[in-house]
Structure 1
Amino acid sequence: MEKTENELVLRKSWWSRNWKWFLPLTILSILSFGFILSSNVAGSTTDIIQAYSDNSLFEGAIQKANSNQEVLKIIGTITPLDQLAILEGNTSYSTGYNSVHSSVRIQGTKTKGKLDITAFKKGTGWAYTKIVIRIKNSKEEITVLD
């Protein structure tokens, strides 16, 4: 009979096999997270989240725009904003979320444009100080409220 030797195969630990990619990735993740927290990106992210949750800001502005005859003539009736329009837009709130400047894309029954809003908090609603619609193709502006 032939003798066989059973060898015990030792496997390296997870850390000794993967440290070359895990360590740099961890350091990069920590640095990226720190950069986001220390920059204005964090502020604009919270502004977008606030705008996303505050539909009344945009609904009121669209309602005022839809009552303007020039808007109806050129753009048509503006449809309610989809949530992606708010995320794609540019919104910036004051420190206490008492005032806001926002620009979002809109879709009318005739053409597209951008809705620019400036407003301040009044009770539980918004008081608009400026509503302007910029028409996409003609570069024309319609001042709804100034």
Structure 2
Amino acid sequence: MEDSNELIQRKSWWNRNWKWFVPTGCLSLLVLFALFIAGIFFEVTSIIKDSDAYKESITAVQNNKIVVEKLGSPIETDGMVSGNITSTNDVRTCDVQIPIKGPKGKGTLFVVGEKRGKWKYSEMSVYIEKTNEKIDLLKK
């Protein structure tokens, strides 16, 4: 009789631990998935920020007297860059929107261009939120 009681009381590892193992396993999968998505996001963002088009446009904003007058100095990026940069053979294209800010306000930098050896921009402009005006950085 003692042997049958002992067998009844001895549960398998799964029967003893499933209540914490299942939620922990599901949570672990969700965390891994979130890290994977975040990794892709940061990789794409860093590709855009490392591009010549991004660097040239930020430099153009920081050196534009009208934009500096409207937003103040220093002007820096403010949040998530959106858009895309593509490469086909030796031709690269960009169409990005970069949120920017200065001590006096915020704006968005729009950059559209193509690179065949050197970048040629069809648009490089800043939209100033406070005054609802658009400043063309390509005009001299």
TM-score (normalizing by structure 1): 0.59
The 2-side partners of 1:132 and 1:18 are apart by 58
Please state whether the residue corresponding to 1:11 is helix, strand or coil. coil
Residue in 1 that maps onto 2:124: 131
Q: 2:72: which partner in 1?
A: 76
- What do residues 110-131 of structure 1 show as CA deviations (whole Å, max 9, x unaligned)? 22111111122344x6433311
| Secondary structure in 2 matching 1:137 | coil
In structure 2, relative to structure 1, the CA distance for the partners of 1:49 and 1:72 (3 Å cut) is closer
**Alignment TM-score, normalising by the size of structure 2:** 0.61
CA contact (8 A) 1:119 1:130 kept: yes
State the alpha-carbon separation in 2 of the partners of residues 95 and 14 from structure 1. Answer: 52
* Aligned match for 1:90, one of 65, 82, 93: 82
- Residues 33-72 of structure 1 mapped to structure 2, 5 A cutoff: 47-52=44-49, 54=50, 56-72=52-68
Secondary structure of the residue that 1:71 maps to in structure 2?
Answer: helix
Identity %: 22
* Structure 2 unaligned spans of 5+: 34-39
CA RMSD of aligned residues (A): 4.2
Matching residue's letter, 1:111 = G
Structure 2 distance, partners of 1:80, 1:48, is 16
In 1, Cα distance between equivalents of 2:95 and 2:128 = 18
* Structure 1 or 2: more strand by fraction: 2
Pair 126,10 (structure 1): closer, same or farther in 2 beyond 3 Å: farther
Matched letter for residue 79 of structure 1 = I
Instruction: Give the aligned partner of residue 104 of structure 2.
Output: 110
